[in-house]
């Protein structure tokens, strides 16, 4: 059974923040799930 890890990232509406998070995703195991939550004010 594969272990699924959920990573929740609270990101501001700053495009650079989301870009950096997505760029970092390439180093994460395919068995992990990344959930991006964009907070809108």
In tens, the pLDDT along 20-33 reads: 776 776 666 555 55
pLDDT at 34: 59
Strand-strand pairing, 32-38 and 5-11: parallel
Mean pLDDT (whole number) for 12-24: 68
Return the closest-CA partner of residue 11 out of 25, 21, 1, 2: 21
């Amino acid at each position: 059974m594969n272990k699924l890890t959920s990573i929740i990232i609270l990101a501001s509406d700053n495009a650079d923040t989301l870009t950096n998070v997505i760029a970092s995703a390439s180093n994460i195991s395919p068995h992990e799930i990344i959930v991006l939550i964009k907070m809108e004010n």
